[in-house]
Structure 1
Amino acid sequence: MSSHVPNQARVIPLRPAAAAPTPAAKEPLWRHVVGDVLRRERLAQERTLKDVADAARISMPYLSELERGRKEASSEVLAAAARALGLGLADVLALAHGELARPARARPARTGTEPTSVTSVVSGRDRSSGRAAAAPHGGMCLAA
């Protein structure tokens, strides 16, 4: 006389299920932003990793790791790399700020391909023509 009905209780939720949160725009890591800035400046100057690493007095593999965003540089190392590129630490920070200030959807994805180079903050000159770079509102051009 037994019925083979499963012994399961029905669950009644007390609160309605919350909607899945929408994924927020992922903030870039500082080391990725700074690495991108260093690499773009080095490539814009048509310099090798070895050349810049020697000028900064850091190892070539370490500079490569910095550029790829795999290592977090100390302020001393970052300043040395900036000086080796003819920039000040403030210039690197200004370029990184420009990257962070752009809307997330306009940032290039980190695919291993490099975006176009930026105009040098130090010289304020367009590298392709050698002429002074035009900047909107009479300010210095920080990013292309």
Structure 2
Amino acid sequence: MNVFVDNDVILDILLERKDFAYSSKVVEHIEKGEVKGFTSPIIFTNTFYLISKAKNNSKAWLALRKLRLLFKVTRINENIIDRALASVFRDFEDAIQYYSALDSKAKYLVTRNKSDYIGEEVVVLTPQELLVIIEKN
């Protein structure tokens, strides 16, 4: 099962945010190889910036190396940018993430902010909703 993981889910874990248990369990399934995790290059730049501000550069680099071991990195190309520009998404970054997930053949996009995503080609779920699906399989 291919799952695109949004930045908020990753940051829940790395910044040890309140109520990050569901996000952590999603990543555990990726670590065990039960789910194939994808994320975009944008996640890496956002994560570096936010972790270096919240902690320090050294911890940010370490976080990126761990992410790279866990996740396949999707591509962002002209087609994805063009689709994002032509979309009805309110936020350009969210549009890029969505079409990058679609391009990588992700069945699910997991995020805490479902309302940020519009579209029917990739199923958008919260971490908790994804865990229910994983446990059924």
Does the alignment reach a TM-score above 0.5? no
The structure carrying a bigger strand percent of its residues is 2
Higher Rg of the two aligned structures: 1
The structure carrying a bigger helix percent of its residues is 2
Instruction: Compare relative contact order (CA 8 Å, sep 6+) and give the higher one, 1 or 2.
Output: 2
Q: What's the TM-score once normalised by structure 1's chain length?
A: 0.23
